Amino acid sequence: MKLKSGLGIVLGATLGIALCLIFFQSAQAATKYTVVSEKWPIAQPSYRAKYPNKKVALWNKKHTKRYGYLTDRPNTTFSRTSIAVLKHGNTKAVYYYVNAGGTKKHPKSTQGYIWRGYLTKGLAMDELKSRYVPIASFSNNADYANYIKYSKSQEITKALVKTLPNMQLNLDLTNIAAHKFAETMSDEDPSLPDVKASSLKTKNYTHITYFPKVTAYLKKSNNVATTTRVKKVKRILAKDYGLTSAKLKRLKNYQIGLYIAENTTGNKVKDNAPLTIKFYAFAIAQKVK
């Protein structure tokens, strides 16, 4: 009887210790990450996975629950909605709360907190291949160039850039062209698209030339074949602005500001509806060294 009693005491003590350890570990896990600070800026810039093939989790604020992984949606653009400083032990790190809307493949939205080092600012392929991206959504030249390259609505933009030899498309100059002089979206909606004020540094350029006759033509010819439109634009540049092919070749250190939004749905009827998205901005300028 004494043996059984002693064994019972040992087992009870062991079980008690085990329960205490489980409780301690659970409490420790719950307080593993603490929020030092968090802010919710008005601007919600876009980010994509810096390492698309790395299994990086999106967490809840306390780091106790996973909401998903970046590898689940490697080509997805996420919007940053908050910036949080989380403390883990003696270490503090900046985390972003990001989210992305649902798709056919992923009907539910994906969101969570993630260390900012796993993200890079800019658009992923889901946006770069889409038919319309607002100009304010671009944060760098590379993303804008890839949008021109991959979007089905940008055939005319690619063709026009090729007609301007020795010049590179530049996002800042494109913003300036959109802000200073451009054809509005439609006669019924004369609003201009939002542009980033930080990009409007005209002091970085000289000999800025806008082409209102070109944008006016582009606006009324969105159903015309690309080759025909390009030929017409070249004639306008030569006749109305003196920019013949020979003159264009002689220009040095010039950049292009060009933004075209049209045929955004790929549907001829909808793309020519009164309030459809249409916008044209075009300029060239010499970069100040």
What pLDDT score was predicted for residue 26?
Answer: 44
Same-domain pairing of 75 and 140: no
Long-range residue pairs from 225-232, CB within 8 A, at least 24 positions apart, any chain: 226/155, 226/156, 226/159, 227/159, 229/156, 229/159, 230/156, 230/159, 230/160, 230/163
- The structural domain count of the chain equals 2
Position 275 scores a pLDDT of 77
Looking at the structure, do residues 96 and 178 belong to the same domain, yes or no?
no
Q: Do residues 145 and 267 share a domain?
A: yes
Looking at the structure, tell me whether residues 111 and 213 fall in a common domain.
no
3 lies in some domain: no
Residue 22 lies in a domain: no
Please check whether residues 140 and 283 belong to one and the same domain. Answer: yes
pTM score of the predicted model: 0.82
Tokens of 32: 């593993």
Of the residues 70, 91, 121, the one at which a domain ends? 121
Task: Give yes or no: residues 135 and 273 share one domain.
Answer: yes
Per the structure, the complete domain to which residue 52 belongs is given by 34-121
Question: Sign of dihedral through CA atoms 218, 219, 224, 225?
Answer: positive
Answer yes or no: do 152 and 237 share one domain: yes
Is position 12 within any domain? Answer: no
- Inter-CA distances, 240 with 45, 76, 101, 232, 246, Å: 40, 44, 46, 12, 15
Q: pLDDT tens per residue, the chain (289 residues)?
A: 544 555 454 445 454 544 443 443 444 444 589 999 999 999 899 999 999 999 999 999 888 999 989 998 889 999 999 999 999 988 999 999 999 987 777 778 889 999 999 999 999 999 999 999 998 899 999 999 999 999 999 999 999 999 998 899 999 999 999 887 766 655 555 556 666 666 677 788 999 999 999 999 999 999 999 999 999 999 999 999 999 999 999 999 999 999 999 999 999 888 888 778 888 999 999 998 7
Are 153 and 272 contained in the same domain? yes
Helix axes 212-220, 226-241, angle to 10 degrees: 160
pLDDT, position 171: 94
